Amino acid sequence: DRLIAKQVTRIDCYSRAFFLGQLLNRWLSVRLDLIGATLVGVASLLALVPIILTKSGGPMADTSPWMSWLFGGGGGAATAGLAISQCMTITTLLGFLVMLGSQMEITVVAAERLLEYADVKSEEEEHRLAAMIMDNKQEEEEEDLSAVVVS
């Protein structure tokens, strides 16, 4: 019964950690999707700005030099489509960058642990020292006993 209770406790602990990891993963995914959707929306609106401002009857019907410099002369539907499609891939790129950053952090922590463990004294040295002390005590006791036996 005690073994089963111990195993159930360990499984519960693992399940809680796994669930929390999955929860954080989904939270991050939703946030990255929100950033990607915002970028796509901004790119779509920026693709419409030259069309709205330069059409006849629009606020800037005659194309001014700053409009052609700012928006590249409108660019057309191909440029707008390219900008929007590139913004749609940003979510995947952001997810990859987050994964890369976390892997780098794990690697750095592992290196720090190695450096920390390199400075730890070996247990063998401690055991050897303890064994040497015990040997010395035994030799002293034997000398004391031999002195008693001789006298």
Report which DSSP code applies to 89: T
Task: List per-residue pLDDT tens for the chain, 151 residues long.
Answer: 899 999 999 999 999 999 999 999 899 999 999 998 999 998 888 877 777 766 655 555 455 555 555 555 556 677 778 888 888 888 889 889 999 999 999 999 999 998 888 887 766 666 666 666 777 777 766 666 665 555 5
Q: 95 and 32 in contact (C-beta within 8 Å)?
A: yes
Q: What is the pTM of this model?
A: 0.57
Give residue limits of the domains in the chain: 2-120, 121-151
Q: 21 and 14 in contact (C-beta within 8 Å)?
A: no
